[in-house]
């Protein structure tokens, strides 16, 4: 028996925000009136976005605004320019249609938060929502009412530079982060002048680009697309995301900007989405080099017919849509529908009716820095702590601060920082000097930057290490090594950083490695030498104080990995929610020589020259204390399709420090009509426990939580046996079983 469901997975049943509210009759009447009076040139003007608004406003741009040439500007000028451009649009254009100013407010505006992958490592959607709210207020104060975030591409290949913007590898965690970010950016109402319209990007499957090469092809069965790569986008739509952005890639040979299946069938028909869709930068005309469109007119026709409402930067819509409509190649109704979606958002934002705000400049505040520091703290993952070296005692004599990322404000902020200011950043070096004083901190960068191969600074680094009680080694990637068009073939620490670690380790002092990076890196040798390892991603404006306080125990690490870390780039892609094979690898084979290619030892699905397990598993992260899991209980041996069961376990703090544990729930459908992953995350709870305290954590499981897509693309639940874990990560924990009747 199969129980079918039309609704999304339970994790996606999130309350819709104001942007997703039903259209009001008054607004729809005003939209209809405007559309009836618009010329075709004014309509395609609304469907066009430009980057040409610069300081000062040129007479050409002013005249184009009066003529209704542009509906939106990207990364436009300064607050004064935007205010003047808006005044011209509202007061001097024929129909008084306002402009929409968009900007890449990816992980902060002036106050920069950890990169999105780092934010996902907090496993704290509430805090992530608070950070997005801060970013929205700062951006909106300067006239920016549209952000090109959140980026929701599930990413399982760390070679891809844009994994830095991703919520990681898991659709459940990614969906919760999607909804949190949308609610944070948009607030309780888009009409609030402190809100910005969110943009769910890149729709869809961009994170699965071949070989991790940016802009590349994606080949994916629909089942995998629906099960893994679409849920976070659906969550954003359900949360009320005002806009969607198409991705650069082709999906099964069809560019996303002309993909009728994605834009019409799924987004509009299945999800009933009423926001508008914008292309990515030049993505419409890039269908020509893709080999999908013969020229720009053909690209405009295919994009408009598929469902792109606004073209970013390139001008094929304005140049060709009027003639295509006249020739009957694009239905005039499609143009009107696109303009209706764009105007609806402008009304929802209050741009038609609210007074044009006076130019203003927003600033970093103590309140915004407090949120940034807390998120940087909770995003940092403790990967190793041999001998409980951390936290360091405040009475320690002195520390050596070494490495190219110890005092680099720009690199600390990470990729996609358009409006962050280096002068607002407090680096780890500065924060440690504030805690310990100048005399107790011996600083030597060792390398000029993360790519530096010169060893000229090694002697000073060794000298600093020899004078200190503990070495704090800040390594990783510069901000320019991750993000868009920053794919890497190798994941090791670049430059001479490993050699620097060797040189410093020769001093024989305890060593803590603090890694700042935009992706998972491979650093096995460094981790072997270090007594402790903290993974800080690119932690943002307040990353320095956050790390300094973590090191000295003023706060405790609670981050958990949102993505699997490989042992070697040769393991990529590696992720926890994989399928089993007919010959799965065995734990008894770990560390055992696997023979030679000519005569392998054993015939299981693994490498002959590397253990099959990851270096660090999904969900993993240590604390300064030790948590014990015990007494798993499943409330019943079976459950009906219309019912639910609960799964509980006792979590005890067995250490000496107070700490936060992220308790995770995983499920495995043992036998199904479509083979299911060995584990799938279905829930988690962050709990804070004092030493020797115990808390019972309980999860409820309903049939919706057991649903999957079958071969006919139906979302179904099937009766059978299920395994369930309450665990600290994706590869351990307490296991129970139950049956779905």
- For 579, other C-beta atoms within 10 Å of its C-beta total 10
**CA dist., res. 223 & res. 671, Å (int):** 17
Q: Taking a C-beta distance cutoff of 8 angstroms, is the pair 525, 546 a contact?
A: no
Within 8 A by CB and 6+ apart from 429, the residues are 401, 406, 407, 441, 443, 544
- Under a CB-based contact definition with an 8 Å cutoff, are residues 155 and 487 in contact? no
**Residues 6+ away with beta carbon under 8 Å from 588:** none
- Tell me if 674 sits within 8 A of 222, measured CB to CB: no
Is 502 catalytic? The answer is: no
Tell me the C-alpha distance between 613 and 565, whole Å: 10
DSSP sequence for 408-473? -HHHHH-SS-SS--GGG---HHHHHHHHH-GGGEEEE-SSSSTT----TTHHHHHHHHHHSSEEEE
CA nearest 273: which of 264, 285, 281, 261? 264
DSSP calls for 91-160: HHSSS-PPPEEEE--SSBSSSBPPPHHHHHTTT-HHHHHHHHHHHHHHHHHTT--EE---B------TTS
Closest CA to 495 of 511, 512, 480: 480
Active-site residue identified among 81, 170, 280, 407: 280
Adjacent-strand bridge partners of 384: 533
Residue with tokens 């070096």: 429
Write the CA distances from 706 to 321, 644, 721, integer angstroms. Answer: 46, 11, 11
Whether cis (ω within 30° of 0) applies to the bond prior to 311 is no
Closest CA to 699 of 731, 664, 669, 670: 664
Beta-carbon-side half-sphere exposure of residue 698 (alpha carbons within 13 Å) = 8
For the record, the structure tokens of 111 come out as 């106050």
Strand partners, 276: 243
Q: Quick one: DSSP state of residue 333?
A: H
Rg from Cα positions in the chain: 27
Catalytic site residues?
Answer: 280
């Amino acid at each position: 028996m199969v129980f079918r469901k039309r609704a999304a997975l339970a994790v996606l049943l999130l309350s819709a925000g104001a942007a997703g509210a039903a259209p009001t009759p008054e607004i729809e009447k005003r939209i209809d009136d405007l559309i009836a009076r618009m010329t075709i040139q004014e309509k395609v003007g609304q469907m066009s976005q430009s980057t040409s608004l610069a300081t000062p406003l040129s007479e050409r741009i002013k005249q184009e605004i009066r003529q209704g040439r542009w509906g939106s500007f990207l990364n436009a000028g300064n607050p004064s320019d935007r205010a003047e451009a808006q005044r011209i649009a509202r007061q001097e254009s024929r129909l008084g249609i306002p402009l929409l100013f968009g900007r890449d407010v990816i992980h902060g505006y002036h106050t920069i938060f950890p990169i999105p992958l780092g934010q996902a490592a907090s496993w704290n959607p509430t805090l992530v929502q608070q950070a997005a709210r801060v970013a929205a207020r700062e951006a909106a104060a300067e006239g920016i009412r549209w952000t090109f975030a959140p980026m929701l591409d599930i990413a399982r290949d760390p070679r891809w530079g844009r994994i830095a913007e991703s919520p990681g590898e898991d659709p459940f965690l990614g969906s919760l982060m999607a909804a949190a970010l949308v609610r944070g950016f948009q607030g309780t109402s888009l009409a609030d002048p402190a809100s910005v319209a969110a943009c769910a990007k890149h729709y869809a499957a961009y994170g699965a680009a071949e070989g991790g090469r940016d802009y590349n092809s994606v080949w994916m069965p629909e089942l995998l697309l629906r099960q893994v790569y679409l849920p976070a986008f659906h969550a954003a739509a359900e949360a009320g995301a005002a806009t969607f952005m198409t991705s650069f890639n082709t999906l099964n040979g069809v560019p996303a900007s002309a993909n009728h299946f994605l834009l019409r069938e799924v987004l509009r028909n299945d999800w009933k989405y009423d926001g508008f869709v914008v292309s990515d930068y030049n993505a419409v005309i890039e269908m020509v080099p893709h080999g999908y469109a013969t020229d720009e007119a053909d690209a405009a026709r295919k994009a408009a017919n598929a469902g792109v409402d606004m073209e970013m930067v390139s001008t094929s819509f304005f140049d060709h849509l009027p003639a295509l409509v006249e020739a009957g190649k694009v239905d005039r109704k499609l143009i009107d529908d696109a303009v209706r979606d764009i105007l609806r958002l402008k009304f929802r934002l209050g741009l038609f009716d609210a007074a044009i705000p006076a130019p203003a400049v927003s600033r970093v505040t103590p309140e915004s820095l407090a949120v940034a520091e807390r998120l940087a703290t909770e995003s940092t993952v403790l990967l190793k702590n041999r001998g409980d070296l951390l936290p360091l005692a405040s009475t320690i004599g002195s520390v050596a601060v070494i490495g190219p990322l110890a005092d680099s404000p720009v690199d600390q902020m990470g990729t996609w920082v358009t409006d962050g200011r280096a002068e607002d950043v407090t680096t780890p070096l500065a924060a440690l000097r504030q805690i310990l004083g100048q005399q107790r901190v011996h600083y030597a960068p060792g390398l000029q930057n993360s790519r530096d191969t010169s060893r000229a600074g090694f002697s000073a680094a060794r000298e600093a290490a020899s004078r200190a009680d503990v070495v704090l080694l800040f390594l990783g990637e510069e901000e320019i090594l991750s993000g868009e068009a920053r794919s890497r073939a190798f994941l090791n620490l670049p430059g001479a950083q490993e050699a620097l670690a060797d040189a410093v380790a020769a001093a024989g002092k305890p060593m803590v490695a603090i890694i700042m990076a935009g992706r998972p890196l491979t650093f096995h040798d460094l981790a072997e030498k270090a007594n402790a390892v903290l993974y800080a991603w690119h932690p943002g404006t307040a990353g320095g104080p956050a790390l300094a306080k973590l090191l000295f125990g003023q706060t405790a690490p609670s981050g958990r990995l949102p993505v699997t870390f490989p042992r070697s780039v040769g393991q990529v892609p590696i992720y926890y929610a994989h399928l089993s094979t007919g010959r799965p690898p065995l734990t008894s084979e770990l560390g055992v020589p696997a023979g030679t290619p000519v005569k392998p030892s054993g015939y299981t699905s693994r490498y002959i020259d590397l253990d099959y397990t990851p270096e660090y598993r999904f969900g993993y992260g240590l604390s300064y204390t030790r948590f014990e899991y015990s007494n798993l209980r499943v409330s019943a041996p079976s459950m009906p399709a219309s019912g639910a069961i609960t799964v509980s376990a006792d979590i005890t703090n067995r250490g000496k420090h107070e700490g936060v544990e992220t308790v995770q729930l995983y499920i495995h459908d043992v036998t199904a009509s479509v083979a299911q992953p060995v584990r799938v995350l279905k829930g988690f709870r962050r709990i804070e426990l004092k030493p020797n305290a115990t808390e019972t954590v309980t999860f409820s499981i309903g049939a919706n939580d057991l649903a999957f897509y079958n071969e006919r693309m139906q979302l179904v639940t099937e009766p059978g046996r299920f395994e369930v874990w309450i665990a600290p990560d994706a590869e351990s924990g307490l296991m129970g079983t139950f049956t779905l009747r």
